[in-house]
Amino acid sequence: MIYHGDCMEFMREMPDKAYEMAIVDPPYGIGADNHHQWATGGKAVAPKGDYGSSQWDSTAPSKDYFEELFRVSKNQIIWGANHFIDRMAIPSSCWIVWDKVNGSNPFADFEMAWTSFSTVARLFRFQWQGMLQGDMKNKERRIHPTQKPVRLYEWLLQNYAKPGDKILDTHLGSGSSAIAAYNTGFDFTGYEIDADYFQAAKERLERHMKQERLFEPQMLAVAI
């Protein structure tokens, strides 16, 4: 299920440990929502596509957000935590690094995710450089400035979730996490506060589900 609304309002109504795992990509507070330019390290460096004018990346999540997230989920994977680790203050041995295979340019070479797991750090390598993507046969159209590839979320689910786990995403964004959960058969719940991004993600997920049904029905569907 995916919902349009404020994740904090929904989480306050959830029971403790309602989800086995939360995979979230909240705002980093570095200005990636700038309407006219890409942001890297908080500084605009090059023109970017038009993804709308919503100012969603002006601040990182509050401590209240993390308290609720940890309360409603048993394990967590949190992208961008290196930007706001002081709001979490919980050590981890299992950081995940996504190598974007960016080549030589001003953009970040990789992104990092904090996890609640006690295993070793892991690297996922998948190209995400402008028109170039790691899976060109299934190239994704970008609908969000910080969109992550479906393959990344599939890898996370396959390596860190167990069959039957309920998955939570508090910041749905482009909907890549929902598509990955559909592909891998996980019970998924996602929230998106921005109406335009929610509608775009909903339509993207619906198109994907319709296309997949033409070939082979999935064991578990994600309802809208």
For 76-133, write each residue's pLDDT tens digit.
Answer: 999 999 999 999 889 999 999 999 998 777 788 999 999 999 999 999 999 998 889 9
Give bridge partners of residue 73 from the DSSP assignment: 19
Nearest partner of 195 among 59, 32, 54, judged by Cα: 54
Amino acid 215: pLDDT: 57
Structure tokens that stand for 75 in this block: 């394990």
166 falls within a domain: yes
204 falls within a domain: yes
For the chain, what is the domain count? 1
More confident residue, 31 or 208: 208
Structure tokens that stand for 104 in this block: 């030589």
Amino acid 224: pLDDT: 47
220 falls within a domain: no
47 falls within a domain: yes
Amino acid 88: pLDDT: 87
222 falls within a domain: no
For 41-76, write each residue's pLDDT tens digit.
Answer: 443 333 345 555 456 556 889 999 999 999 999 999
114 falls within a domain: yes
Q: Cα separations (Å) of 89 from 116, 176, 190? A: 12, 28, 25
Residue 65 sits in which domain range? Answer: 2-213
Report the greatest alpha carbon distance in the chain.
47
37 falls within a domain: yes
CATH number for the domain spanning 193: value is: 3.40.50.150
From the number of C-beta atoms within 10 Å of its C-beta (0-12, 13-18, 19+), residue 120 rates as: exposed
Nearest partner of 221 among 186, 192, 189, judged by Cα: 186
More confident residue, 34 or 101: 101
pTM: 0.85
Please check the confidence at residue 222 and state whether its pLDDT lies above 80.
no
23 falls within a domain: yes
Amino acid 59: pLDDT: 83
For 151-210, write each residue's pLDDT tens digit.
Answer: 999 999 999 999 999 999 999 999 999 999 999 999 999 999 999 999 999 999 999 999
Amino acid 89: pLDDT: 83
Structure tokens that stand for 21 in this block: 């795992």
